[in-house]
Amino acid sequence: MYFETQKLSVGYHRRPLIEDIDIGIWQGGILCLIGPNGSGKSTILRSITRHLTKLGGVVAIGGRDLDGMSDKELARHVSVVLTDRIEPELMTCWEVVAAGRYPYTNHFGKLSREDQRIVEDSMARVNALELREQRFTELSDGQKQRVLLARALCQQPEVIVLDEPTSYLDIRHKIELLDILREMTASRGLSVVLSLHEVDLATKLADVVVLVKDNAIFRCGAPEDVLDDDTIRQLYDIHDGSFNLLLGSVELCGAAGEPRVFVVPGEGRGAPCFRALQKRGLPFATGILQRCDVDWAVAETLAARRYEAESFSPPAPDTLRAAVAAACSSACVVDSGAAIGPYNRENLELLRAAAGAGVPVLTLRRERLESLEAARPFDTVRALMDEAARLAAGKGGGVCPSSGAASGAIAGTV
Ligand SMILES: Nc1ncnc2c1ncn2[C@@H]1O[C@H](COP(=O)(O)OP(=O)(O)OP(=O)(O)O)[C@@H](O)[C@H]1O
């Protein structure tokens, strides 16, 4: 490993917070700490960079113990972007970035032409050149973050340490930051050690993730091997709602209770309907859901009841029968508008059965489906859900299907 810690112990007032930290990353690699608030990520990063005195162990770069380096020497090897907001009175952004050249300048701190070129280049890399004459204290948090990154790059370090560098950045600047780090690791062999709160970004950026929890390194390894939905639930003690790593999406807790609305999903079109129902506090059932559909992952958390089939397969007859019965006894059925083909034709049967049983079918579909003329089209999810909510509250005045009608529909379907 190019950068590594051996039996590192970190903490405050001589009291260890985390001990025996053995982590490392190769030249050109990215190591990312993730974990809940207060788990110790910043403490580890500050101890690595000597902003905090470590309580024991070794931090080394290229086999050299950092303890043996002067501050200036350390600054040539390691640069740092921490969460502390520096407030340099009256300094322009150019001057803040130029301060990153101090490990290379003489006693008078005079910048050579080459130094000036590097400052300019670093600012250009983070798209901050237009801020050069502005006072640092007058920038937004996101702009400050970019200027501080430019300063860290300007130090031309071998290792860059960043504590939650994305926290103030909008989506575009987050992507840009991650691109810059990836480009620097690939082109210059820079090693990166950082902490992130966005687990999904960590999976996309890091070569190694270190999961920090309960005063210990909980797990460590390649994100592909270490991170899954279960591990994340454990890491963050998630009980309500869920996090889906594949989609990088957080889902809140779904409404519990007897479903009054039935959603026919597919192609990810079910998910916006599920979320709209969740926001209205309406429990819903959904089917037929295929495991390969992204709707499946969202429904797993939000649906009160699910009727499922294996990927690219028809549902089991019992499942279909139960789904039809559920749809036919709902206050309304929502057709999310997914294309119907050989692998999900049962969903069309389901819609027809519900319509045949007199259940209002509300659809987001643009084209009318054959033998589903009774479906009421809606242009927006919101308008449709307003109607679904009205019907679910029993204000529809529509037909409440008799059990006879429902069973007839089921018999005709299956
Ligand atoms: N200066 C300090 N003195 C004593 N304890 C501290 C100090 N700074 C932080 N701590 C404690 O150390 C623990 C770890 O804090 P740390 O800031 O490292 O967590 P973190 O994982 O970076 O959290 P977050 O995700 O919220 O930034 C916390 O319990 C915190 O209260």
pLDDT tens across 74-104, in order?
988 999 988 666 677 789 999 999 988 888 7
Q: Give the Å distance between the CA of 56 and the centre of ligand 1.
A: 18
Residues 313-330: what's their mean pLDDT? 96
Residues 175-185: what's their mean pLDDT? 88
The pLDDT value given to residue 141: 83
Lowest mean pLDDT among 76-85, 153-162, 257-266, 298-307: 76-85
Say if residue 398's pLDDT is above 50.
Answer: no
Which backbone phi and psi does 108 adopt, to 5 degrees?
A: -85, -5
More confident position, 158 or 169 = 158
The pLDDT value given to residue 355: 95
Residues 288-309: what's their mean pLDDT? 94
| Cα distances (Å, whole numbers) of residue 369 to 219, 338, 359, 376, 412 | 51, 11, 16, 11, 18
> Which protein residue has the closest C-alpha to ligand 1 atom 26?
37
Phi-psi domain of 18 (left: phi exceeds 0; alpha: psi -120 through 50; beta: other): beta
Report CA 118 to chain centroid distance, whole Å: 34
Say if residue 249's pLDDT is above 80.
Answer: no
The pLDDT value given to residue 172: 85
The pLDDT value given to residue 313: 92
Residues 119-144: what's their mean pLDDT? 91
More confident position, 402 or 87 = 87
Q: Which of 39, 167, 235 should be mutated for ligand 1, with most atoms under 8 A from CB?
A: 39
Say if residue 413's pLDDT is above 50.
Answer: no
More confident position, 329 or 409 = 329
Residues 48-68: what's their mean pLDDT? 94
Ligand 1 atom showing the smallest separation from residue 83 Cα = 27
More confident position, 414 or 178 = 178
Most confident of 83-92, 193-202, 235-244: 193-202
Q: Is the CB of 43 under 6 A from ligand 1?
A: yes
Ligand 1 atom showing the smallest separation from residue 197 Cα = 25
Q: Which of 9, 21, 41, 45 should be mutated for ligand 1, with most atoms under 8 A from CB?
A: 41
The pLDDT value given to residue 110: 79
pLDDT interval class at 414 (50, 70, 90):
very low
More confident position, 109 or 101 = 101
Say if residue 400's pLDDT is above 50.
Answer: no
Q: Is the CB of 38 under 6 A from ligand 1?
A: yes
> Which protein residue has the closest C-alpha to ligand 1 atom 30?
38
The pLDDT value given to residue 228: 86
Residues 154-181: what's their mean pLDDT? 90
Residues 215-228: what's their mean pLDDT? 92
Average pLDDT over the chain, rounded to an integer: 89
pLDDT interval class at 304 (50, 70, 90):
very high
The pLDDT value given to residue 63: 92
Say if residue 224's pLDDT is above 60.
Answer: yes
> Which protein residue has the closest C-alpha to ligand 1 atom 29?
38
| Cα distances (Å, whole numbers) of residue 168 to 95, 127, 137 | 22, 15, 15
Rounded Cα gap, residues 214 and 18, in angstroms = 9
Ligand 1 atom showing the smallest separation from residue 36 Cα = 25
Rounded Cα gap, residues 414 and 398, in angstroms = 25
Say if residue 242's pLDDT is above 80.
Answer: no
pLDDT interval class at 108 (50, 70, 90):
low
Residues 323-332: what's their mean pLDDT? 97
Residues 194-223: what's their mean pLDDT? 93
Q: Give the Å distance between the CA of 212 and the centre of ligand 1.
A: 12
The pLDDT value given to residue 388: 97
Q: Give the Å distance between the CA of 9 and the centre of ligand 1.
A: 14
